[in-house]
Amino acid sequence: MLKTLLGLGDDKRDKFNARVAALLIQELGIDANYETNPNFEGLGHVDLMSKCFYHRRTPEHCAMQIALSYLEKIVKGRPFSKNGEAVELEAKIRKSADFYTAQGALFPELKPVIVQVISKLRAEFG
């Protein structure tokens, strides 16, 4: 009952999770299925989605965090220069960050952080 009073009911949580999954799959092109994408396994995305939900982050913010974690995981296996999936995902993350910021779904202060994380990954795993 307390969750319902605070606006944290199961229905809202399900909608939040569905929106995050849709953003990952449809807009960022990440295969979020453990069985078909072994790189997605072990990211801890379920815990991250829970933290995002309870800390009142937007689904777009949460999707960006998961996408950056996924990007880090796939470039550790193969460097950017030889990893077409990483290059494509980087472009989608940058484009989505611009779009979400323009929509107001992502705080403008987060965009430089996203760029910084990508630049760091490029420098480290170039």
Q: What is the pTM of this model?
A: 0.86
Would you say 93 and 71 are in contact if contact means Cβ atoms under 8 Å apart? yes
Q: Where are the domains of the chain?
A: 2-125
Q: Output the pLDDT for position 43.
A: 67
Segment among 41-45, 51-55, 112-116, 119-123 with least mean pLDDT: 41-45
* Whether residue 4 has pLDDT greater than 80: no
Q: Output the pLDDT for position 125.
A: 82
What integer is the mean pLDDT of 102-126? 92
Question: H-type helices in 1-105, by residue range?
Answer: 2-5, 10-22, 45-54, 59-77, 84-103
Tell me whether residue 20 is exposed, middle or buried, using C-beta atoms within 10 angstroms of its C-beta: 0 to 12, 13 to 18, 19 or more.
buried
Q: How confident is the model over 6-29, as pLDDT tens digits? A: 555 668 888 998 999 999 999 999
Q: Output the pLDDT for position 6.
A: 57
Q: How far apart are CA 113 and CA 107, in angstroms?
A: 11
Q: How many residues does the chain have?
A: 126
Query: For the chain, what is the radius of gyration of the CA atoms?
Result: 15
**Banded model confidence at residue 89, pLDDT cuts 50, 70, 90:** very high
Residue type for 114, please?
A: I
* Whether residue 106 has pLDDT greater than 90: yes
